[in-house]
Structure 1
Amino acid sequence: MRVADRISLKLQETFDPTRLEVVDESHLHAGHAGAPDGGQSHFHVVMRAAALDGLSRVAAHRRVNAALKEELAGPIHALSLDVAAR
């Protein structure tokens, strides 16, 4: 399974978002330190989910990072987040 698909699946299961976009931006980082051949290492996530309601931006990012801890320990080198309750 592609890394972007794993990210989508985990976020869908954890947060049941009303909006979810996972964009593989690895091609923008080709040749940089930490950018492996074959990509699938740099991602941008846009998510809106009621499960994040009332959380600060830092707390919401921590929840997303916790949901993706396995991926962040392995194939993900960089993850940018645009997450909010709505």
Structure 2
Amino acid sequence: MTGTVAEEMHALLTEAFAPARLAIINDSAKHRGHMGDDGSGESHFTVEIEAAAFASMNRLARQRAVIAALGDIVGQRVHAVAIKASVPEA
């Protein structure tokens, strides 16, 4: 995790889901020069999150919940977010 957008994403997701595990991976360097790269170094991310809150949700509902928790970050300040949301193993 690096940069202010990544830190903000981490704070929002921690508040929304109290995850057992959360990783915000900045993939922006892999997309340098591609569509959506704004030159900020914070345009593309992968979110890996494990939270008990996802137990009753299917994969699509989990992704929608993560996007909702991130508010205006996705689509306005970040071009793309890959989401891997799961329930912690018991």
Q: Percent identity?
A: 35
In structure 1, list runs of 5 or more residues that go unmatched: none
Structure 2-normalised TM-score?
Answer: 0.91
How many residues are paired up? Answer: 86
**CA distance in 2 between partners of 1:34 and 1:73 (Å):** 10
User: Hey, what does 1:28 align to over in structure 2?
Assistant: 30
- 1:11-41: CA deviations, max 9, x gaps? 0000000000000100000000110112101
User: Hey, what does 1:71 align to over in structure 2?
Assistant: 73
User: Hey, what does 1:44 align to over in structure 2?
Assistant: 46
Superposed structure 1 runs of 4+ greater than 4 Å apart: none
In structure 2, list runs of 5 or more residues that go unmatched: none
Q: CA deviation at 1:69?
A: 2.2
Structure 1-normalised TM-score?
Answer: 0.95
Task: Select which of 31, 55, 58 maps to 1:56.
Answer: 58
Two-structure CA RMSD over aligned residues (Å): 1.1
Task: Select which of 84, 87, 90 maps to 1:85.
Answer: 87
SS of residue in 2 equivalent to 1:74: helix
**CA distance in 1 between partners of 2:44 and 2:35 (Å):** 12
